[in-house]
Structure 1
Amino acid sequence: MLRVTRIVGPAVLVAASLLALMVGLAYGGGADPRPIGDPGALVRFGLPIAKLFVNLGAAVTIGAIVLALFAFSPKKDEYHRALDVAASGAAVYAIAAGATGFLTFLNVTGTAITFDDQFGAKLGLFFTDVELGQAWLATTLIAATLTVLCFAVRGQILMVFIGVLALISLVPMAQQGHAAGTAGHDAAVTGLGLHLLFAAVWLGGLLTIILLRETLESGRIIPVIERYSTLALASFIVVAVSGYASAELRIGTLDHLLTPYGVLVLGKAAVLIAIGLFGAVQRNWLIGRMKAAGASIGRYFWWIVVAELAFMGIASGLAAALARTATPVPEELPGVPTAAEILTGEPLPPELTFERYFTVWDIDLIWLLITAFGIFFYVAGVVRLRRRGDTWPIHRTVLWVLGLLVLFYLTSGGVAAYQDYLFSVHMLGHMGLTMLVPVLLVPGAPVTLAMRAIEKRDDGSRGAREWILLAVHSKFAGVIANPIVAAVLFVGSLWIFYYSPLMRWSMTDHIGHEWMIVHFVLTGYLFVQSLIGVDPVPFRLSYPLRLLLLLATMAAHAFFGLAIMSNVGLFLADWFGAMGRTWGSTPLADQQTGGGIAWSLGELPTIALAITVAIQWSRSDTKDQKRLDRNADRTDDAELKEYNERLARMSGRG
């Protein structure tokens, strides 16, 4: 039965994917001949098939790596077999990506295949000078590198970086999807990127378990399935949310659901619901029965897993067909684009008022999910502590939740909607990310909560608790958590960001924008943690030195704001000065307002930090005095008597 499952599972996945792809292409017209410049049936059908195998290869690679890092023990053969599976998936990934790039060249240029120098020159030009060709060349090279690394590297720490490289390989594909060209570019890239990543973890993880079933020891399958089930549940939520967001961008209104694209989306949604039901049965019924039966796992379980894999194949095929089907909503903005539309891909919003800070939204799906999961897991940890009789201060929970809500607003609310058009709003968001959010999050002590609430593993594998401990105790964390280093990063990043090409990258590239958010939240968090943090750190300054460091930081921060206020030149003049904005203050006056925000409002959280440090200092002195008083009571003032006797002896000698 085990051998049959290992053969039938992948075969069912591929067959279901190809069948769903062919049906989707036939219904949606994704492979219909073009009236002008038709590349031929080979390209029309070969390109979506190649893209399907790109998705499947990426899924196997990423799913196997994630399971190796999260579910398998490096001390057991399962871990090494999983990396072999990842290497095999990466090989398929690389070959399929190369084929997709070649077929994309034929599809875009309409060039017939020949074996002369002219064809080779055109192909080389496509892969080196054309953005679309460069994307597929990069994907192919990264996938080939992953093949070698997954085969050669076995250390878990290095596999983390290889997993990050696998994640990076999805970026070029995310930037090529529907609506990733002009209107809705940022939301489209984010939605498709999240969809690709978590669908890969979901599908690839299940296929890896099937392929490694015989390798797993009789008692190992239960914890592995439990851990995969946790990953699958999170992946289902992200895939569902990102799928809805992407469909909303491409479909627009309800009447478009009756178009071929809309019907295929509905079909994929139905399949997704079915897969979710499979997962619910697995989590709520099968795992319990498996635990009750011990090592005995019936054939029905594996047939259910194969059926779930078949539905995943149908979803993969429909996804590949949707990528070739015309969307009801045009991908390009109608009419002649305005200056704001050329720069940002979005129409210029109406004039900013106080009300619009809270009524206009530009949801960033990444931070919506991060904040939602952050609140859920934190509250779940607190509930777990209370159920076993432990206590957790309520103010920590309140501050953590409030901090994540503020983070969500700054990345998705009115500040996010207007920061591309007004430097002052951009600076307001920056100050909130690097100063206000960390001041609220750090007192929540998330690392301490995780250490107390997450169960420790004893089978050699690493779960969330083990990875958090490894990160916190690493040498790199010890360096960047040093108070001096954290302060330098906190202040220095302000100057480097605004007076280097990093600012332009964050404004013109969505990935740069996401990097900016991560960077400023982390540098602010490290600085605040070094001053008032509850979580353990390798080294802390004394309270007087903390206040001195904070005062020096405040001075440098105020000087930064004054420098912007007095600047007569415009930051990114071809951006903020070229928006075609007819409302609000002039770009230079708005920039000076931004400097005032950095100088004034940016100091308010710093003052709150100073007050908190002073209060902690006072409480620390009170605790020390109480400790000394208790020691004196226990020893009958032995230290004081010894001190007085020593003074008496010294006086006698004098």
Structure 2
Amino acid sequence: MSALMQRAGAPALLVAPVLMALVALVATGLTGGLSPLGIEGLPEPGSLTRVGLPIVLVVRDLAAMTTVGALVLAATCVPPAVGTKEHALGPARRRLVMCAQLTATVWAVGGLTLIALVYSDASGSAVGGPGFVSQAVFFAFEFELGRYGLWGAALAAAVATGCVLATRVGGVGFIALLAIAALWPMALTGHAAGSLNHDEAVNLQLFHLIGISVWLGGLIALVLVGRLLGESLAATVRRYSTLAGGCLVMVTVSGVVGAWLRLPSASAALSPYGVILALKLVAVAMLAAAGWWHRNRTIAAMEPGSGHAFRRLVAAELVVLLGAAGLGVALSRTAPPAPQQAPQPLTAAEALLGSPLPAPLDASRWLTAWNVDTLFLPLGVAGILGYLWAVGRLRRRGDTWPLLRTVSWLMGWLLFVWATNGAPGVYGRVLFSMHMVQHMTIATAVPVFLVLGTPITLALRALRRRDDGSRGPREWLVSMSRSLLLHVIGHPLVAAGMFVVSMVAFYYTSAFAISLESHTAHVVMTLHFLLTGYLFAESVVGSDPALHRPPYPMRVLLIIGTFGFHALFAVSMMASSTVLAADWFAALDRPWGRSLLADQYLGASIGWVMGEYPILIMAVALIVGWVRADGRERRRYDRREDRDGDRELTAYNAYLSQLRDAELTHRPAPPTMEPRSTSREKEQHR
């Protein structure tokens, strides 16, 4: 079986870039993307740029997909070699890491080459012309499109460097996350990122890239290491098939919603852009059918002598996936259909926000104003569905799970969805007061509810343990909970410091203005405050395993000190006469609502007030946890005394008797009492 896979793999891998480039060139040529504009007076970049740009895009995209797929497969599906430790790489994992190192290098070089070709295409300057190099460098550093390319190339180079340094599977997992993050600059410059709804399109493009990268790259990686997997081939293929199924859903949903955003009407589906989109959907449907057959027939029949069918199926999936990826490159070189009516000039607010200025905020719009965030809405839905699935698995096997924890978890994610998709998300970049509502909800309220849901405990009970040394979700969760990095940033003092310092640094530097102007900065800001808030809440009121938690009196001091500083920060902002991000808010030219300074005062007041109810929730949770901990300690002490025949009580009574009978100058030594921590350790040991 493995030999057949190896013989099938070499030709497929050699033909892959050629096939993908051929599809991209043919589709681009049919839509006119390879032809000169033919408009008198406009400069032409030349045939080298027109033909070379889609080819370099193919090489860059295929290298990125293979890098991501190889690292994800090595980190999640491939077991260690027989006789080696679980964290060791082994031959199969090492081959995948070496492959990722090579393709990440190609990814970085291709990204740098694309910067020059994109500049040539945008400016109409021929490659190699007088002053072309200096102009391309200026474009790379001074223009947004060029900086995206530089960031993508830098991240790809970091992935290649990480592959060189990786010696354990834990490092491979970290590099896989870095490789997935390196897809973000590609999403910013993808074919779906140029519409008015720019942020939504970028988010969808990211999901699309992640799905197709893990799917196609994982399939290529599977072909690469088939010969080295031996007896574990079937299990590895089964795990990859599960990943591919999730990627199928991700690619389909993101592609359909992205097409809905890009096509202005139903008749636009007959445009060249719409036809290419339809072909991609047909390819996804074919792959879905092949995946169903693959999971239900081929994997079950993977025995010696049955490799021919698997080889044909792998070849067919590769052809269709490469064709779909080539069509994606063609889409990036094809102009989307224009609306039937002539577009109106964009207002200043539309140019800055990517959407029209919302209507005046009144009481009803706090609940009725919604704008779907295509990044954070799926994150919230996934958090809810994953938790309910885990609770359902526990109950199906007869275990119980506290209802209050489930309600708390759901409340946290519902608040998160409202803060990012509801009124705070709609008005957060228009009004400072609504931005503060969004910030405080995400940084203080949401983390407390999520922590009280104890998700790590639930996951450890619900997820299955793997017995072949590979790392699934449960193994990665355990590894993460034991990592030095988590113990450092999750230390109570460090977590509280990050929570406080990041707030001051965010608002009293240019970071706040940048988060309003840049979608990337806004995403980083949201995730950062969610993470720091979660770590702080976990260190104070959490009960999940892993993090160090101080004694209860110290936790009370942490809450008082942290939220006291937060109140002081809000008061100082209320007293300030300087408008934060004044250029941004003034450029929106908002015709309704309070003045900028009055709205900032209102926002600071809201921030002060919204810091109070998380304190109340944390205080109640802290008191309940404290009482329960003391109760457990008393019961533990009683059990120990019952086993030891009231040894400590007898010793103390004897000591009192000695005190009564002894002279004042010869005071007896008190009995030695066993510390509570020692008794707890002995109790656990027994």
**Change over 3 Å in CA distance of 1:179–1:340 after alignment to 2:** farther
CA distance in 1, matches of 2:112, 2:604: 49
CA distance in 2, matches of 1:417, 1:389: 44
The one-letter code sitting in structure 2 at the alignment partner of 1:572 is: A
Q: Taking CA–CA contacts closer than 8 Å with sequence separation of 6 or more, which of the two structures ends up with the larger relative contact order?
A: 1
Q: Following superposition of structure 1 onto structure 2, how do residues 365-404 of structure 1 map, counting pairs within 5 Å?
A: 365-404=374-413
Q: Following superposition of structure 1 onto structure 2, how do residues 3-402 of structure 1 map, counting pairs within 5 Å?
A: 3-11=6-14, 13-36=16-39, 37-72=43-78, 73=80, 74-114=88-128, 118-140=131-153, 142-144=155-157, 146-147=159-160, 149-151=162-164, 153-178=166-191, 180-181=193-194, 183-217=196-230, 219-290=231-302, 293=303, 297-329=306-338, 334-402=343-411
SS in 2 for 1:436: helix
SS in 2 for 1:306: helix
CA distance in 2, matches of 1:13, 1:576: 49
List per-residue Cα deviations over 1:94-127 (Å, max 9, x = no partner). Answer: 4433443333233223233557x54444444444
CA distance in 2, matches of 1:465, 1:104: 43
SS in 2 for 1:438: helix
CA distance in 2, matches of 1:156, 1:572: 44
Contact 1:59 1:200 in 2 (8 A): yes
List per-residue Cα deviations over 1:107-153 (Å, max 9, x = no partner). Answer: 223233557x5444444444444443444345445545544553564
Greater mean alpha carbon deviation, residues 502-511 or residues 87-96: 87-96
Q: Alpha-carbon deviation of 1:565?
A: 1.9
Contact 2:432 2:603 in 1 (8 A): yes
CA distance in 2, matches of 1:333, 1:131: 27
Greater mean alpha carbon deviation, residues 50-59 or residues 456-465: 456-465
Greater mean alpha carbon deviation, residues 56-65 or residues 398-407: 398-407
SS in 2 for 1:420: coil
Q: Does 1:584 align with 2:593?
A: yes
SS in 1 for 2:226: coil
Per the alignment, residue 448 of structure 1 pairs with 457
The one-letter code sitting in structure 2 at the alignment partner of 1:191 is: L
CA distance in 2, matches of 1:333, 1:78: 57
Question: What TM-score does the superposition give when structure 1 sets the normalisation length?
Answer: 0.92
Q: Alpha-carbon deviation of 1:573?
A: 0.9
Per the alignment, residue 648 of structure 1 pairs with 657
What residue ranges of structure 2 are gaps of 5+ in the alignment? 81-87, 664-686
Contact 1:63 1:202 in 2 (8 A): yes
Q: Following superposition of structure 1 onto structure 2, how do residues 449-488 of structure 1 map, counting pairs within 5 Å?
A: 449-488=458-497
Contact 1:183 1:333 in 2 (8 A): no
CA distance in 1, matches of 2:127, 2:623: 75
Q: Does 1:639 align with 2:645?
A: no
CA distance in 2, matches of 1:632, 1:78: 55
The one-letter code sitting in structure 1 at the alignment partner of 2:417 is: F
CA distance in 1, matches of 2:29, 2:288: 27
Contact 2:192 2:205 in 1 (8 A): no
Contact 2:57 2:110 in 1 (8 A): yes
Contact 1:101 1:136 in 2 (8 A): yes
The one-letter code sitting in structure 1 at the alignment partner of 2:240 is: Y
Aligned with residue 570 of structure 2, among 554, 557, 561: 561
Q: Alpha-carbon deviation of 1:427?
A: 0.6
List per-residue Cα deviations over 1:581-622 (Å, max 9, x = no partner). Answer: 111222211111111111112211111111221122223333
SS in 1 for 2:537: helix
SS in 2 for 1:337: coil
Per the alignment, residue 422 of structure 1 pairs with 431
Q: Alpha-carbon deviation of 1:385?
A: 2.6
Greater mean alpha carbon deviation, residues 544-553 or residues 265-274: 544-553
Contact 1:351 1:584 in 2 (8 A): yes
Greater mean alpha carbon deviation, residues 190-199 or residues 335-344: 335-344
**Change over 3 Å in CA distance of 1:498–1:316 after alignment to 2:** same
**Change over 3 Å in CA distance of 1:551–1:76 after alignment to 2:** same
Q: Does 1:604 align with 2:613?
A: yes
CA distance in 2, matches of 1:279, 1:57: 23
List per-residue Cα deviations over 1:358-393 (Å, max 9, x = no partner). Answer: 333222222222222222332232233333333322
List per-residue Cα deviations over 1:385-413 (Å, max 9, x = no partner). Answer: 33333332232223223322221221122
What residue ranges of structure 1 are gaps of 5+ in the alignment? none
Greater mean alpha carbon deviation, residues 8-17 or residues 584-593: 8-17
Contact 1:560 1:598 in 2 (8 A): no
Q: Does 1:508 align with 2:517?
A: yes
CA distance in 2, matches of 1:113, 1:516: 39
The one-letter code sitting in structure 2 at the alignment partner of 1:275 is: L
Contact 2:481 2:547 in 1 (8 A): no
CA distance in 2, matches of 1:95, 1:558: 50
SS in 1 for 2:604: helix
List per-residue Cα deviations over 1:538-580 (Å, max 9, x = no partner). Answer: 4222223222322222322222222222222211111223321
Q: Alpha-carbon deviation of 1:296?
A: 5.7
Greater mean alpha carbon deviation, residues 260-269 or residues 377-386: 377-386
Q: Alpha-carbon deviation of 1:175?
A: 1.9
CA distance in 2, matches of 1:429, 1:138: 29
CA distance in 1, matches of 2:146, 2:440: 39
CA distance in 2, matches of 1:87, 1:27: 35
List per-residue Cα deviations over 1:493-532 (Å, max 9, x = no partner). Answer: 2222211222122211111111111111111111111222
SS in 2 for 1:451: helix
Q: Alpha-carbon deviation of 1:79?
A: 0.6
The one-letter code sitting in structure 1 at the alignment partner of 2:289 is: L
Q: Alpha-carbon deviation of 1:15?
A: 5.0
CA distance in 2, matches of 1:469, 1:633: 36
Q: Alpha-carbon deviation of 1:440?
A: 1.2
SS in 1 for 2:592: coil
CA distance in 2, matches of 1:118, 1:487: 52
Contact 2:371 2:422 in 1 (8 A): yes
CA distance in 2, matches of 1:608, 1:143: 44
Contact 1:178 1:250 in 2 (8 A): no
Contact 1:12 1:310 in 2 (8 A): no
Q: Alpha-carbon deviation of 1:432?
A: 0.8
CA distance in 1, matches of 2:646, 2:105: 75
CA distance in 1, matches of 2:493, 2:147: 42
Aligned with residue 525 of structure 1, among 534, 539, 551: 534
List per-residue Cα deviations over 1:425-462 (Å, max 9, x = no partner). Answer: 11111111111111211122111122222223343332
CA distance in 1, matches of 2:449, 2:188: 34
Contact 2:21 2:54 in 1 (8 A): no
The one-letter code sitting in structure 2 at the alignment partner of 1:201 is: V
SS in 2 for 1:214: helix
Contact 2:6 2:223 in 1 (8 A): no
CA distance in 1, matches of 2:401, 2:606: 36
Per the alignment, residue 417 of structure 2 pairs with 408
Contact 2:205 2:254 in 1 (8 A): yes
The one-letter code sitting in structure 1 at the alignment partner of 2:440 is: M
The one-letter code sitting in structure 2 at the alignment partner of 1:69 is: A
The one-letter code sitting in structure 2 at the alignment partner of 1:35 is: G
